[in-house]
Amino acid sequence: MNTSPIETWEGAEAYFTFADKPAIMMLFLLLSVAITFGTIVIAALHEKHAYNNH
């Protein structure tokens, strides 16, 4: 049973290159989590430092 409304890929606006490679998708996910977590930690350290200077 094919329930996809897509009959052809002609004229498609976007192609998801790594959609069939779960290892690369996991790498991108872990990288984005690390960047987000790092940003939060660095911001918290900066705020703590700025608060202690006043």
> pLDDT at position 20, please?
82
In a domain, residue 44? The reply is: yes
Tens of pLDDT along 1-47?
Answer: 567 777 777 877 777 777 788 999 999 999 999 999 999 999 999 99
Counting the structural domains of the chain, the total is 1
In a domain, residue 24? The reply is: yes
In a domain, residue 50? The reply is: yes
Angstrom distances, CA of residue 46 to CA of 19, 26, 54: 37, 30, 13
* Parent domain of 46: 18-54
In a domain, residue 10? The reply is: no
pTM more than 0.75: no
In a domain, residue 6? The reply is: no
In a domain, residue 2? The reply is: no
